[in-house]
Chain A
Amino acid sequence: MNTSSVRSATLAAALFFLLAGCGKPEAVVRVGFVGPLTGDQAAHGLDMLRGVQMALENVKSQGEILPGYRVELSVLDDQRSPSQAVSAAKRLASDPTVVAVVGHLNSSCTKPASVIYNEARMLHVNPVSSNPEISRQGFDNFYRVCPTDDLQGPAGARFAVEKLGAKKIFVIDDMTTYGRGLANEFMKKAKTLNVQLLGHEGIAQGEKDFTPLLTKVKSLGADLIYFAGMFPEAALLIKQRRELNVPASFLGGDGLYEPTLIQLATPQAAEGIYLTTLGADIHQVPKAKQFVESFEQRYHHMGSYSSYAYEATRLALEAIHRAGRPERTAVLLAMKGIKEYPGILGVHTFDEKGDTTLRTIGIFTVRDGKFQFLEAFEGKS
């Protein structure tokens, strides 16, 4: 043993005790929330967080959730990256005070994280990750309050063919679980509708230049571009489509439903694009009126996914309340007993996979620089 090992030991000791400073047990029970709070999709993540916070406040104001325990949020950031999502999930799973989790935004994050929550036997209520595969993993702890992409994709395909009269479609996705899954569901339906699928290509999130791809789409003579992905990439595609004079119309999924899209793409280029959304326009759902009003009063605009995060959080809190004990298994058991839950989006019943039976898909367009609701599809799987 020499002096250098002493030095390293002292340093290690210092590091360890610095780490040891955090966290001691109290009478708290926590609900985890994970979503992209930084990064290019932070807009969606923060909208969701607001919904989660508002749900906790509202439920708290109606009386004690779990007698003797303070209910808190444990908020983590996944930066829309699957590996960060897994790390965050492991952190929640290893904290025994966390009995339920609401999250994530992206299907590519929700899916790997759901494996961890399932191993930890923790109630997992998902707001908006619409990839159908997630609920097909056979996890009894997984619940989802939004319609899935095996409804959204076909609704988009029907709208494209029946209403827009598309004949030659080029499909682009962002290679995420969500994007690729949605694109596949869209194409599956489109093939049955007698249209020509000219091609299908993936782009990477964070890239900026899609002109070569759009030029190719133009040369193929497509009359519709279907994009399954999120708004930052969609905005660039829409703008570059205009700069290259690509005549094809543009249809996307719910990942585009964010007002920033129109600003980033410029209102001129975004004019007349179409998108499908999960659920109808929240402003037209009668039960959601009070929520929408108080939310808009506080934050000045309605987030695309805030209502789903709100709904998911209320469900999780209801399960905790019914469980009456701060234990994961009890909460999970209580959740199984929830039937015909009257939420703001409608009355939720969950099928054997944990998916809600509410299956409305909305269609929007952009008119005069604003999203405008066109119609609602009642999805059938």
Chain B
Amino acid sequence: MTRKLLILLLVFLPFFDPNAYRVDVLATAALYALLALGLNIIVGFAGLLHLGYAAFFAVGAYTYALLNLNLGCPFWVGLPVSAAAAGAAGFLLGLPVMRVRGDYLAIVTLGFGEIVRIVVTNLEEWTGGPNGLLGIGHPVFFSYNFGVDSKPYYGLLLVLAAVVAWACSRLARSRIGLAWVAIREDELAAECSGIDVARFKLLALGLGGGIAGLAGCVFAAKQGTVTPDSFDFILSVMVLAMVILGGLGSVTGVILGAAVLSIAPELLRSFAIYRMLIFGIVMILLIRFRPQGLWGTAQIRKEMKGRHVSA
């Protein structure tokens, strides 16, 4: 009981925190947790190495931004639409790349991510080009406008992350989750035992994309601005690092990974220019001593022992 209280306290404490910067860091951590949960479905569950995840995030953010600015679409309508749009993007990406495997899939998804970013940059008339879109509406809950304060976004992201985390752990234990494990471990064997490999891969890309779309929509509403430089390759790599560092396939793990990798650079701020240097060393050390991830499950550890997850 005390443990539950402790967790509740930790989750709710920021709502009473007068330091807005700290709350913003936590809200960003919650946003990353959402992204990491989504990518975990693709990489952790289905074993598809994806290096262009930021593209789905961008699709979600720009979908809401464009709907809000052009049609005055409210946030709560934009949220499911953005998720659907990004999910569709995941699905569409999946259709042609089914043939490509492993590291080749990684580079195709990387190419996809770069193409989306550059196209968004170049289609100035719609997307505002490199300058992005400004003045995107904040969410309004009944008569309460979320505004620029990070607290309500922190709350919203917590709720979304909790729901997605719950859904993911249910999914992992369902028939679908088992099918993904089968595909991840041995695609050929899975196919031979009657699993429709293509369908399950598409499902993973669609779901993972949809979750990134949710995150993108909240991000656009929170920042009030979207610019293409928020969706670069570094973001894709960082979210992937959160998933791997946390523990591939483990829901608790990837949340933890997201928290560590998004909060650590902020904690290191006092090191000034040495900050990212130290962050690099921290990453090397963390994985050196927890190669299976901070929260790698025993199953994952066994499954992945010396084997290429994306083969």
Contacts and interface: CB of A to CB of B under 8 A. Distances in A.
Interface string A297-338: 000000000000000000000000000000000000000000
B229 A19 contact: no
Contacts of B238: none
Contacts of A4: 252, 295
B266 A19 contact: yes
Interface in A1-29: 1, 4-6, 8-9, 11-13, 15-16, 18-20, 22-23
Nearest to A23: B19
B151 to A, nearest CB: 10
A260 interface: no
Contacts of B212: none
B10 A16 contact: yes
Contacts of B3: 1, 5-6, 9
Contacts of B21: 23, 91, 94-95
Interface in A170-220: 175-177, 180, 204
Nearest to A113: B225
B20 A115 contact: no
Contacts of B227: 82-83, 86, 108, 112
Nearest to A131: B131
A46 interface: no
B130 interface: yes
A298 B13 CA distance: 48
A91 B224 CA distance: 14
A283 interface: no
A108 B130 CA distance: 8
Nearest to B294: A11
B4 interface: yes
A93 B23 CA distance: 13
A94 B149 contact: yes
B132 to A, nearest CB: 6
A115 B7 contact: no
B148 A175 contact: no
B89 interface: no
A258 B121 CA distance: 27
B230 interface: yes
A16 B225 CA distance: 28
A11 B256 contact: yes
A83 B133 CA distance: 11
Contact of A1 (B4, B25, B131, B224): B4
Contact of B150 (A5, A94, A176): A94
Would you call the interface of chain B mostly helix, strand, loop, or mixed?
A: helix
Interface in A93-121: 93-95, 108, 111-112, 115-116, 119-120
B71 interface: no
A18 B265 CA distance: 12
A245 interface: no
B230 A83 contact: yes
A81 interface: yes
B24 A91 contact: yes
Interface in B104-153: 121, 124, 129-132, 134-135, 147-150
Nearest to A180: B129
Nearest to A38: B273
B225 A13 contact: no
B267 interface: yes
A90 interface: yes
Contacts of A115: 134-135, 224-225
B269 to A, nearest CB: 8
Interface string A33-50: 000001000000000000
Contacts of B295: 4
Contacts of A18: 267
A23 B266 CA distance: 14
B6 interface: yes
A19 B22 contact: yes
B268 to A, nearest CB: 11
B229 A81 contact: yes
A176 B130 CA distance: 6
B83 interface: no
B7 A86 contact: no
Interface in B18-43: 19-26
A116 B22 contact: no
Contacts of A180: 124, 129-131
Contacts of A91: 20-21, 24
Nearest to B269: A22
A20 B14 CA distance: 10
Nearest to B135: A115
Contacts of B23: 94
Interface in B42-70: none
A83 B229 contact: yes
A90 B24 contact: yes
Contacts of B121: 175, 204
Given A8-B256, A19-B22, A94-B150, A13 B273 contact: no
Contacts of A13: 6, 10
Contact of B6 (A9, A116, A175, A176): A9
12 contacts: A1-B4, A12-B10, A12-B259, A13-B6, A82-B131, A83-B225, A91-B20, A94-B20, A116-B148, A175-B121, A180-B129, A180-B130
Listed from nearest, the 3 A-B pairs whose CB atoms lie closest are: A94-B20, A82-B227, A83-B230
Given A16-B13, A93-B148, 18 more contacts: A9-B6, A15-B260, A19-B266, A82-B132, A82-B225, A90-B24, A94-B20, A94-B150, A108-B130, A111-B131, A111-B134, A115-B134, A115-B225, A116-B148, A119-B148, A175-B129, A180-B129, A180-B131
Interface of A: 1, 4-6, 8-9, 11-13, 15-16, 18-20, 22-23, 38, 81-83, 86, 90-91, 93-95, 108, 111-112, 115-116, 119-120, 175-177, 180, 204
